[in-house]
Amino acid sequence: MLPMSTFTLFFLVLYAFFSLVTSAPAPLQRDVFVPPVLYPGKGTVWRHGERHNVTWDISNAPAHITNNLGVIVLCREHELLDYEHPLAQDFDILLGRYEIVVPKVPKGSNYRILVFGDSGNTGEAFTITK
């Protein structure tokens, strides 16, 4: 299997993201894994440079998924931040957690984490500060 290009990835993320945001009935494919983000969430405060394990629920993972390489992208409200440099990529999405370093982004309480393999799901809004 060839690795996805950043370009392909970008449109995949956009598709995954906007199909959630618009709540339009997304065409349901077989073997699409949409892991809900468990951490960070409501009440989480991260500081620049800290290391944290982003975690997501793998209990509904299908037995066979077409792409088990995960990507973690930071979002602010419904905007993907620096998707060309995701917080993490090329890890096994079935791990259910992955350690990231909090980037130096402006202070804000409307950040979200997007984790996706074939599709994605953003977590609850949380805060990053200095």
What residue ranges bind ligand NAG (CB under 6 A)? 51-53, 97, 99
Residue number with CB closer to ligand NAG (34 or 100): 100
Would the CA dihedral through 104, 47, 81, 3 be positive or negative? positive
- DSSP-based three-state secondary structure for 95: helix
Per-residue DSSP letter, 21: H
Residue number with CB closer to ligand NAG (77 or 99): 99
CA–CA separation, 57 and 96 (whole Å): 6
Count the helices and strands in the chain (H runs, E runs): 1, 10
Per-residue DSSP letter, 9: H
Residue number with CB closer to ligand NAG (54 or 73): 54
Residue number with CB closer to ligand NAG (96 or 117): 96
CA–CA separation, 35 and 96 (whole Å): 9
The residue sitting closest to ligand NAG, measured at its beta carbon, is: 53
Write out the two tokens for 89: 């990529």
Smallest separation, CB 53 to ligand NAG (Å): 4
